[in-house]
Structure 1
């Protein structure tokens, strides 16, 4: 069934997207290979955060430059993404460290399968939690950054005499229009994949207070919340970067 669904996706991308669809498909395969390599490196003992930073940069380059070419839109989007992810990295690390997230949650710890595996992995589970949040947030940040810089480019190309402040204002206005839909996408993606989990917790008699203070709730909500924060933060950064590139470069 998975092979059938994959073939359907492949055909639709090639038929509907045409040449750009094929390029997007190749970029997707490249990103999957990079993620697989990252998992292998982490399991081999390479520092998790170092692997995460390198993989994030490579995925950003593949997604922006290979799919959309090297131009002012992609360079400004890349710069905005790197600045946002750098700021977000310290914020995520502090939150994960203070909350002691990472490792097995309450549901996984009581499972029968856990007794058949060796849990001594010699890997920092907190760093793994930071890596998971960063990589899951990266896609939304890239999408928002490229949307804003492309919008600024289109505005500048139709009105050459716009000032730097006017370009920033245009980018902010366009970013505000798509922020709501992006946040809703992240929210419903999380809720959709967690409906069965919430049903299980309700059947087991979890109270609302216990659910709010559980590790499983934090792990599932952190990626969504940080993704929404990153989309809001990257919007002004991308507007400034795009305005600078298209006004002065």
Structure 2
């Protein structure tokens, strides 16, 4: 506990020194999201539907992360709407695929540690798996949405007369960089978290087919793939929304230009 407290203090001090007011806001968003995750655990334990709890908490986490991490309200609104759209799409994708994959509950490698406890906890493990998968994608999509929206905002501000095609091209260029970094982060995060287990399985002469059929390996891989798909979708949707913003602004300027051209000096 002392180590966690010390690391938390170090992180808070560094965020305040490096980020200033935005660093303080970012630390506040992390603290609020941490509290929301505990509220989700309490609500699920109390008998509330895990999927609906995850949806409610997920929307709250996205709102806190995006609006506290961005100064421009319009850009934050675009990023928030894009993440909500992706969140709905991921629900439609996760629910059936997790059901067919049958990755609910604990894996065989985890049962030795909990076999002395009862698993009759009165909750649906499949719903918990879906809720966990849904919540695990939030960080990736919110980060990508903010990065794309903020990057395109800078491009538009520096080039007021930029065309819609140029905005989409800039969005693709920024998106390719974000996708590469995000995929590496997700991939190495998965192997870093389960490295000890993979080493143990290798020492036990586990075959490659065992890995492909292991519940814990399949569930981690599916979470990475879900997050990757969500990042791709949010990049594309955010880029399209920013392009529509530029197109709408161009249409609003045209009538004013035409009206000004019809006025002649006396």
Band the TM-score falls in, shorter-chain normalisation: over 0.9
Instruction: Give the aligned partner of residue 153 of structure 1.
Output: 153
Runs of 4+ deviating beyond 3 Å = none
Unaligned segments of structure 2, at least 5 residues: 250-266
What is the Cα deviation at residue 163 of structure 1? 2.8
Unaligned segments of structure 1, at least 5 residues: none
Matched, 1:113 2:103: no
Instruction: Give the aligned partner of residue 39 of structure 2.
Output: 37
What is the Cα deviation at residue 45 of structure 1? 0.3
What is the Cα deviation at residue 225 of structure 1? 1.6
SS in 1 for 2:161: coil
RMSD across aligned C-alpha pairs, in angstroms? 1.5
Instruction: Give the aligned partner of residue 261 of structure 2.
Output: none
Matched, 1:58 2:60: yes
Instruction: Give the aligned partner of residue 203 of structure 1.
Output: 203
Report if the CA contact (8 A) 1:77-1:145 is conserved: yes
Matches of residues 97-136 of structure 1 in structure 2 within 5 Å? 97-109=99-111, 111-115=112-116, 117-136=117-136
What is the Cα deviation at residue 165 of structure 1? 3.1
Instruction: Give the aligned partner of residue 25 of structure 2.
Output: 23
Report if the CA contact (8 A) 1:79-1:241 is conserved: no
Report if the CA contact (8 A) 2:163-2:246 is conserved: no
2-side partners of 1:186 and 1:222: how far apart?
Answer: 11
- After superposition, the Cα gap between the structure-2 partners of 1:112 and 1:162, relative to the gap in structure 1 and judged at 3 Å, is closer
Number of matched pairs: 247
Instruction: Give the aligned partner of residue 259 of structure 2.
Output: none
Q: 1:82 aligns with which of 81, 84, 87?
A: 84
What is the Cα deviation at residue 67 of structure 1? 2.8
Residues 4-35 of structure 1: CA deviation (Å, up to 9, x unaligned): 22222122112222211111111110011111
* Larger Rg computed on CA atoms: 2
Higher relative contact order (CA 8 A, sep 6+): 1
Report if the CA contact (8 A) 2:70-2:146 is conserved: no
2-side partners of 1:17 and 1:150: how far apart?
Answer: 16
Matched, 1:140 2:143: no
Report if the CA contact (8 A) 1:179-1:231 is conserved: yes
Report if the CA contact (8 A) 2:190-2:220 is conserved: yes
2-side partners of 1:169 and 1:201: how far apart?
Answer: 45
SS in 2 for 1:104: coil
What is the Cα deviation at residue 69 of structure 1? 4.0
